[in-house]
């Protein structure tokens, strides 16, 4: 199967696509933050001459505006991160607010009180203002990188931490729902199903998923596509009620994730997480351990292309997993494999008749002619070959029972590349590309392994955006998103 979706917000990109392709699709979502507030003097009077500048501590990216006639200001489309805000006005001491954190799709309020004095004097506040969004009525929770990395994440799937948000009822990526961390191929491609606040699933889910501002859903039943590894994710937010109209696709919730970016200092990580049979306990009354081998490894790196101007970030993660599944079932006895069914209560008939078979002296399994013994002339060589290859002999004493393990491997590789550049004081561009390749083998079911399902899937996410400041009160953000997921399944004997 193959799923493809295209999303183009912003007047510039929409007009371009109309000219080139003659079609337009829906919009991307917000992955930046906003600072709002008022500027007053010590007597409470509005200061309408103030200039407010927000500067990202890690990249030196800055955005400025001026207070309006009511002393109010708003700085929008700020990339998530840690900021310093400076407020200048003639006749007042400079005000500096440090450690102001901007989170995904949230509005941070910073009200400033200026003190009369020389402009060369500075008042610095280091205590961060509370992270409370008083501008919107939406309910939700932001999970930052410290939680993503610091909290126990057994299967290295960030979606498992959706359960930290009140209102999340069921989650197919949670450790309880998927203890082995095997990619969920229920739909033919890896996917995540989440139910929020009494919503439903039943093949018609009610949650929207976004990655770096672009749609991140399967295209079949609209389940969530996988995210990059936790080391590559900056933060994600779960909206569960009263979210903005721009999230109009689904009614129960919105999951928005944003990946990390480069900074003025090089940074990175290397990781490997290992789980294997030797470290596992025995099941109750079991004499052998179920085979389990899981290696999740990779790394990230980010830094400047040009200091204070352009930055890169990249990530790779691989998964190599083999899970043993116990199989127990009835198989042919040693005598039955030779055609001797005399010990079986079921009658064996000649093909197409109701005449019970009678063996001869030449029957491999019988020394004398007897009922329920298949003559050599009726033994099918092809069937015997298939039985020898796919049906194991009994290995449990006292019967025709087989007990063993079937090993199901999963291989997965992911790549993330991201680029950010401040072209000028009025233009900032960003681009990200995420690719995921998954290959999974599972046996076809039954009492013992006789056939194998091979599932495969590829995922592509591309996002390109441009933020242009026309003046202190007008900003345009243009966005191009390309999302594609394709997969299939083969069955082999």
Please tell me the predicted confidence (pLDDT) of residue 28. Answer: 53
Please tell me the predicted confidence (pLDDT) of residue 236. Answer: 93
pLDDT (tens digit, 9 = 90+) per residue, 314-324?
A: 999 999 999 88
Chain centre distance of CA 477: 25
Please tell me the predicted confidence (pLDDT) of residue 12. Answer: 39
DSSP for 104-134, written as a single string: TT-EEE--EEE-BS-TT-EEEE-SPPP----
Of residues 408 and 299, more confidently modeled: 299
Mean of pLDDT values over 191-204: 82
* Distance in angstroms between the alpha carbons of the first and the last residue of the chain: 21
CA 458 – CA 411 distance, rounded (Å): 12
Same domain, 368 and 282: no
User: Per the domain annotation, does 22 fall within a domain?
Assistant: no
Same domain, 433 and 458: yes
Residue 222's pLDDT band, with cuts at 50, 70 and 90, is confident
Strand-by-strand arrangement of the 2-7 sheet: 2-7, 474-492, 452-471, 427-443, 401-424, 310-330, 292-306, 267-276
User: Per the domain annotation, does 462 fall within a domain?
Assistant: yes
Mean of pLDDT values over 96-103: 94
The tokens for 387 are 């039985």
Secondary structure class of 234 (helix, strand, coil): strand
User: Per the domain annotation, does 26 fall within a domain?
Assistant: no
The tokens for 482 are 């390309």
Same domain, 109 and 174: no
Mean of pLDDT values over 237-262: 84
Same domain, 477 and 352: no
In the chain, what's the furthest Cα-to-Cα distance?
117
Please tell me the predicted confidence (pLDDT) of residue 119. Answer: 76
When mean pLDDT is compared across 46-50, 317-321, 328-332, the lowest value belongs to 328-332
Same domain, 302 and 378: no
Closest CA to 207 of 143, 237, 250: 250
Average model confidence (pLDDT) for the chain?
A: 85
Secondary structure class of 217 (helix, strand, coil): strand
Residue 134's pLDDT band, with cuts at 50, 70 and 90, is low
Look up the CATH number of the domain holding residue 92.
2.60.40.1120
Percent of the chain with pLDDT over 70: 88
Given a cut of 70, is residue 9 above it in pLDDT?
no
Same domain, 88 and 203: no
Given a cut of 50, is residue 256 above it in pLDDT?
yes
Same domain, 105 and 163: no
pLDDT (tens digit, 9 = 90+) per residue, 287-307?
A: 778 888 999 999 999 999 999
When mean pLDDT is compared across 143-152, 199-208, 268-277, the lowest value belongs to 199-208
Task: Compute the Cα dihedral for 229, 419, 255, 141 and give only its sign.
Answer: positive
Please tell me the predicted confidence (pLDDT) of residue 7. Answer: 38
Residue where one domain finishes, among candidates 356, 390, 424: 390
Given a cut of 90, is residue 231 above it in pLDDT?
yes
Residue where one domain finishes, among candidates 125, 156, 178: 125
User: Per the domain annotation, does 134 fall within a domain?
Assistant: no
Please tell me the predicted confidence (pLDDT) of residue 79. Answer: 93
Please tell me the predicted confidence (pLDDT) of residue 306. Answer: 95
Given a cut of 80, is residue 23 above it in pLDDT?
no
When mean pLDDT is compared across 66-70, 145-149, 202-206, the lowest value belongs to 202-206
The tokens for 173 are 């990526």
Please tell me the predicted confidence (pLDDT) of residue 2. Answer: 39
Task: Compute the Cα dihedral for 307, 308, 309, 311 and give only its sign.
Answer: positive
pLDDT (tens digit, 9 = 90+) per residue, 53-90?
A: 999 999 999 999 999 999 999 999 999 999 999 999 99
Same domain, 157 and 80: no
Please tell me the predicted confidence (pLDDT) of residue 225. Answer: 94
Given a cut of 50, is residue 42 above it in pLDDT?
yes
Mean of pLDDT values over 378-390: 82
Residue where one domain finishes, among candidates 125, 147, 162: 125
The total number of structural domains in the chain stands at 3
Mean of pLDDT values over 115-144: 81
pLDDT (tens digit, 9 = 90+) per residue, 339-382?
A: 888 878 888 888 888 888 887 766 666 767 788 888 877 788 88
Same domain, 38 and 50: yes
Mean of pLDDT values over 141-169: 90
Name the DSSP letter for residue 282. P
Given a cut of 50, is residue 46 above it in pLDDT?
yes
Please tell me the predicted confidence (pLDDT) of residue 441. Answer: 86
User: Per the domain annotation, does 253 fall within a domain?
Assistant: yes
Please tell me the predicted confidence (pLDDT) of residue 433. Answer: 98
Domain that holds residue 433: 139-328+406-492
Same domain, 363 and 292: no
Given a cut of 90, is residue 418 above it in pLDDT?
yes
Strand partners, 462: 433, 482
Please tell me the predicted confidence (pLDDT) of residue 482. Answer: 94
Helices (H), 428-484: none
Please tell me the predicted confidence (pLDDT) of residue 175. Answer: 87
């Amino acid at each position: 199967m193959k799923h493809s979706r295209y999303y183009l917000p912003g007047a510039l990109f929409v007009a371009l696509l109309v000219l080139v392709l003659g079609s337009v699709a829906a919009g991307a979502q917000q992955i930046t933050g906003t600072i709002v507030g008022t500027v007053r003097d010590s007597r409470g009077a509005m200061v309408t001459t103030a200039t407010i500048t927000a500067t990202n501590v890690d990249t030196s990216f800055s955005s400025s505006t001026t207070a309006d006639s009511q002393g109010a200001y708003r700085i929008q489309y700020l990339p998530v991160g840690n900021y310093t805000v400076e407020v200048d006005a003639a006749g007042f001491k400079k005000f500096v607010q440090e450690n102001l954190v901007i989170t995904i799709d949230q509005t941070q309020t910073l009200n400033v009180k200026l003190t009369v004095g020389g402009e060369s004097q500075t008042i610095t506040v280091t205590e961060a203002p509370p992270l409370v969004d008083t501008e919107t009525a939406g309910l939700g929770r932001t999970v930052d990188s410290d939680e993503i990395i610091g909290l126990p994440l057994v299967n290295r799937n960030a979606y498992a931490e959706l359960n930290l948000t009140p209102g999340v009822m069921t989650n197919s990526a949670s450790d309880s729902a998927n203890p082995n961390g095997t990619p969920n191929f229920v739909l033919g491609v890896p996917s995540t199903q989440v139910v929020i606040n009494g919503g439903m699933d039943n093949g018609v889910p009610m949650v929207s998923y976004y990655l770096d501002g672009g749609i991140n859903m399967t295209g079949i039943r609209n389940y969530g596509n996988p995210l990059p590894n936790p080391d590559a994710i900056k933060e994600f937010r779960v909206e569960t009620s009263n979210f903005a109209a721009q999230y109009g696709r689904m009614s129960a919730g919105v999951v928005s994730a944003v990946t990390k970016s480069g900074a003025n200092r090089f940074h990175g990580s290397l990781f490997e997480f290992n789980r294997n049979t030797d470290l596992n306990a025995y099941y109750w009354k079991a004499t052998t351990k179920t085979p389990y081998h899981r290696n999740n490894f990779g790394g990230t790196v980010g830094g400047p292309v040009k200091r204070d101007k352009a930055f890169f970030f990249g990530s790779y993660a691989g998964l190599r997993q083999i899970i043993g599944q116990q199989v127990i079932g009835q198989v042919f006895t040693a005598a039955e494999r030779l055609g001797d069914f005399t010990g079986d209560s079921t009658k064996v008939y000649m093909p197409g008749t109701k005449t019970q078979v009678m063996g001869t002296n030449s029957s491999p399994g019988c020394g004398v002619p007897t009922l329920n013994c298949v003559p050599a002339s009726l033994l099918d060589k092809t069937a015997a070959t298939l039985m020898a290859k796919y049906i194991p002999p009994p290995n449990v004493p006292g019967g025709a029972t087989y007990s063993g393990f079937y090993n199901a491997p999963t291989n997965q590789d992911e790549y993330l590349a991201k680029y950010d550049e401040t072209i000028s004081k009025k233009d900032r561009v960003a681009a990200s590309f995420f690719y995921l390749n998954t290959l999974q083998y599972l046996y076809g079911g039954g009492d013992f392994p006789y056939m194998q399902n091979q599932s495969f899937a590829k995922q592509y996410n591309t996002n390109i955006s441009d933020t242009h400041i026309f003046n202190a009160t007008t900003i345009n953000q243009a966005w191009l998103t390309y999302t594609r997921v394709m997969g299939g399944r083969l069955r082999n004997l």
